[in-house]
Structure 1
Amino acid sequence: MTDALNTPPPSAPAAQAPTGGARIIAITSGKGGVGKTFVSANLAAALTRRGLRVLVLDADLGLANLDVVLNLHPKITLHDVFTGKSTLDDAVVKAPGGFSVLLAGSGMVEYSRLTPEVRDEFLRIVHSLVPRYDVILLDTGAGISDVVLFAVSLAAEVLVVATPEPTSLTDAYAAIKVLAMQQERKQVRVVINQTARPGDGRAITGQLQQVLDRFVSTQSGHPVRLLHLGDIPSDQAVRDAVMRRQLLLTTTPGCPAALAISQLAGKVEETLVGKP
């Protein structure tokens, strides 16, 4: 793997992350199609089963698809809240699995760029939600656009989803590099989706760490540390649930992928929720 980003893009404006209340976790990826939204939705369901108050915010403002994964047909979206047509309370709905969701509209070109108006409204909404929940999962877009980086900057923790495919790993490395250099992230958690064998994800995370250690140095001089949070094995039940637009934890709770997500939720609760 080579150094995929010699010159990082201009920094997105830093945001003041909310303090107190919910633990905000950004779930992101270097490229699309790696199962990021699938992980967000099913992790939310697993955390809810553990007794936590969970909200998933669809932070992919221009190409939202959380509604598709959950088979929801929202009448009110973030767009309506941004424009003042609806209140935040009206836009938050219950999803299958018992958690709350705040959905974004798809195909909204005006939200594909981080304008001051989008930034201010998004920040206001997140600050309003924090006191109401134990965990807020930000299901971001893929890549390193200014909208994605701004959403990630609001989170106390970052979870990068990747698959074992070379293109996914190259883009995951690029995204982690930007987070380390622009946001001074000292650690990033990694979930490897669609693994073929036990232990693959930990080995892949170790390989990514070696490349980061070689090529990436932050302004503070502290190298970014990757923490392997878990693997989700390749599983036909996942594809079946996605095609049916249902949660895997509801359709096939005993399949290997569902059990892996439940274990992932346990690690999230143990290591991230309630930390200062």
Structure 2
Amino acid sequence: MSEAPTPSIPRPSGPSAKVLAVTSGKGGVGKTFVSANLAAALAKRGHRVLVLDADLGLANLDVVLNLHPKITLHDVFTGRAQLDQAIIAAPGGFSVLLAGSGMVEYSRLTPEVRNEFLQVLHSIMPRYDVVILDTGAGISDVVLFAVSLASEVLLVATPEPTSLTDAYAAVKVLAMQQKRTQIRMIVNQTARAGDGRAITGQLQQVIDRFVVPGAGRPIRLLHLGDIPADPAVRDGVMRRQLLLVNTPGSPAALAIGQLANKLDEVVLRRSTV
């Protein structure tokens, strides 16, 4: 099977959003939780943020945020609604563009889906400072396409061996197919301080040994931060409440705030100077 070329986005003139892809090798590691709460933390710092539910066909951002959209990306793609009608406000001070769940036609990356997605992203980029793509898990063509549109990749993993094995697989594909030279790691549900940095280092050693760089340079995993295991997270997910809004003083919420600070410093502010 031939490798699909990485699409190029026509860049709008003037200021344009920084596009971040939040992805994971394995499902169930808290990727959408991270996307939503990181958006709230960045919005609190004064950024205009939109989260685009790029998990086409298996979307669940609406569930996490307890939103009930009447219009979704599906309606925009099919011409039944305008883009502005599908963008809605979320708790936490940011905007969301939600996808419809159970849409079988979005399980494959067709030329139509590719073109519609590119058009939507091109339209929203001038309106925001940050666009977060909450992708699906794994290495399907739809996931890889969404990740290819981002200038920065945030890979979410947990300390579980299955999560790390799948994270390695995702890094390998991104290095070889998309010629990525760096990926930022977020380790969720850590038990002790420092666990995430150690895990990132161990994964880097495996990558250095077994992954042939696609861009002629070895891929670097940059440890962005950890989110500790915290009962407030599960409670918030079950209640469909945003952690940073309802329990901003919880350990996990404070950790996400630190992630936002670091992103602000090393990615967002750097891109505006």
TM-score (norm: length of structure 2)? 0.96
Corresponding residue number in structure 1 for 2:145: 150
Pick from 75, 79, 95: which aligns with 1:80?
A: 75
**CA deviation vs aligned residue, 1:24-48 (integer Å, no higher than 9, x gap):** 0000000100000000000000000
What residue in structure 2 maps to residue 111 of structure 1? 106
Would you say the 8 A contact 2:175–2:214 is kept in 1? no
Identity %: 76
Which residue in 2 is equivalent to 1:45? 40
The one-letter amino acid of 2:113's match is V
For the aligned residue pairs, the C-alpha RMSD in angstroms reads 1.1
Partners of 1:23 and 1:274 in 2: CA distance: 10
Give the secondary-structure state (helix, strand or coil) at the position aligned to 1:227.
strand
Residue aligning to 1:222 = 217
Distance in 2 between residues matched to 1:12 and 1:148, nearest whole Å? 13
Structure 1 residues 177-188: aligned runs within 5 Å: 177-188=172-183
1:12, distance to aligned residue in structure 2 (A): 3.5
Question: In structure 1, what is the equivalent of residue 232 of structure 2?
Answer: 237
CA contact under 8 A between 2:181 and 2:215: conserved in structure 1?
no
The answer to whether structure 1 residue 12 and structure 2 residue 4 are counterparts is: yes
Q: Determine helix, strand or coil for the equivalent of 1:151.
A: helix
The CA distance in 2 between the partners of 1:214 and 1:94, in whole Å, is 45
Matched, 1:28 2:23: yes
1:273 CA drift (Å) = 1.0
SS in 1 for 2:133: strand
Deviation of 1:13 after TM superposition, in Å, equals 3.1
Instruction: Return the offset for 1:185.
Output: 0.3
Letter in 1 for 2:188: N
Structure 1 unmatched ranges of 5 or more: 1-8
Do 2:20 and 2:132's aligned partners in 1 also have CA atoms closer than 8 Å? Answer: yes
CA contact (8 A) 2:77 2:116 kept: yes
TM-score (normalised: structure 1): 0.95
Match 1:127 to one of 111, 116, 122: 122
Question: What SS does structure 2 have at the residue aligned with 1:164?
Answer: coil
